[in-house]
Amino acid sequence: MDISTLCIHGAEDHTHCTGSITVPIYQAATFVHPGVGESTGYDYSRLQNPTREQVEKIVAKLENGADALAFSTGMAAVTALMELFKIGDHLIVSDDLYGGTHRLFHHISMKNGISFSFVDTSDSSEVIKHIKKETKAIYIETPTNPMMQVTDIAAISKIAKENNLLLIVDNTFLTPYFQNPIQLGADIVIHSGTKYLSGHNDTLSGFLVTRTEELSEKLRFIHKTTGAGLSPFDSWLMIRGIKTLAIRMEKQQENAILLANWLSNHPKVQSVYYVGLPTHPGYEISKKQARGFGSMISFKVDTEETAVQLLSKVKLVLYAESLGGVETLITYPMLQTHADVPKEEREAKGIDERLLRISVGIENINDLIVDLGQALG
């Protein structure tokens, strides 16, 4: 079945008792036992809830995983994932990470005795160089946020397998609609469901998708024990959001390609980082491993004044954090998503006072261009 159809029909048949087209919201904390020592399969909603179970089934199918676990946020998912590791373990991670993940690794995981090598994972030799006997996993984001670096997932998976390491891929930016890391050799896929999967900037959620049942069992234990499962209502909103994933991803990408080209030709724009531009260093790998380029664009303007002016003059385009929704959002990574990354490290990555990031929505492209045009001046 095509992925666009799975997005709509990926839940199990739930129409048998009432004919309801939609999955019901089981707003229940606990469930009655039919007899002594018996269970309906649901005992207490921290362990499992029927509505959450349905969104998990859909996401597992979309990513071709053995299982998917739904969390209250993307960061709750990454936090639970880190419970797979213990004092002394070492991870190799992308050096251009989502700001919240960077903060978690630096301020919480390190305190818990886990060490990290932050490397440019788009260069396989850098990854190999940092493997040591304590290394347990490679953690990548591709494309990265906000610099849009692309890592060859299959190449890194080969290194991971040869060295008996887990490969973990944050697939938030491309979603299963455009990229399936498990098929390329990943063991665990992460999503901030808050972004494209939800698509409407109205729900926070996170997912871990596993390649094997064995990993699923370990993570299910952590999930039920630490307790950050997605609520029934938010699970329902996610099921609803995912139904339109295909059509949104296509339209957002179509707009992004047009906008990236328009920005590239604007006199006040100096560079455009969009993986769908043939000049982008990750263009060929993207074509090989993904079915699309997504709709995240970063760009550098000529001066800090232009950046500040743009952010204060946009009207239709909203100056707000987050990404992936139907509304086009613009952010200033230096002050928002990456504010916690030390200045030197940030600037070495190119995240400076001239860098802006746009998450392109589904508005009419001409309206977006008119708004950005007046704001850039």
Strand 355-359's sheet: what is its strand order? 269-273, 296-301, 355-359, 329-331, 318-319
Q: Active site includes 98? A: yes
Q: Active site includes 195? A: yes
CA-wise closest residue to 361 among 325, 309, 319, 318: 325
* Contact pick of 109, 151, 172, 210 for ligand PLP (by CB under 6 A): 172
Judged by CB under 6 A, does residue 24 bind ligand PLP? no
Name, in order, each residue with C-beta under 8 angstroms of 45's C-beta and a sequence gap of 6 or more. 26, 28, 29, 30, 52, 229, 232
Closest distance between ligand PLP and the C-beta of residue 254, in Å? 21
CA torsion through residues 237, 243, 247, 253, sign: positive
Element at 53 (helix H, strand E)? helix 50-62
Q: Which of 89, 96, 170, 187 is catalytic?
A: 170
| Interacting residues with ligand PLP between 31 and 90 (CB under 6 A) | 73-75
Q: Of the two residues 194 and 235, which places its CB atom closer to ligand PLP in the complex?
A: 194
Q: Active site includes 170? A: yes
| Interacting residues with ligand PLP between 179 and 238 (CB under 6 A) | 192, 194-195, 204, 206
Judged by CB under 6 A, does residue 101 bind ligand PLP? yes
Distance, in Å, from the CA atom of 310 to the CA atom of 301, rounded to the nearest integer, reads 10
Q: Of the two residues 63 and 141, which places its CB atom closer to ligand PLP in the complex?
A: 141
Judged by CB under 6 A, does residue 169 bind ligand PLP? no
Q: Active site includes 46? A: yes
Closest distance between ligand PLP and the C-beta of residue 56, in Å? 16
Name, in order, each residue with C-beta under 8 angstroms of 181's C-beta and a sequence gap of 6 or more. 63, 153, 167, 169, 171, 189
Positions in the binding site for ligand PLP (CB under 6 A): 73-75, 98, 100-101, 141, 145, 170, 172, 192, 194-195, 204, 206
Catalytic sites, residue numbers: 46, 98, 170, 195
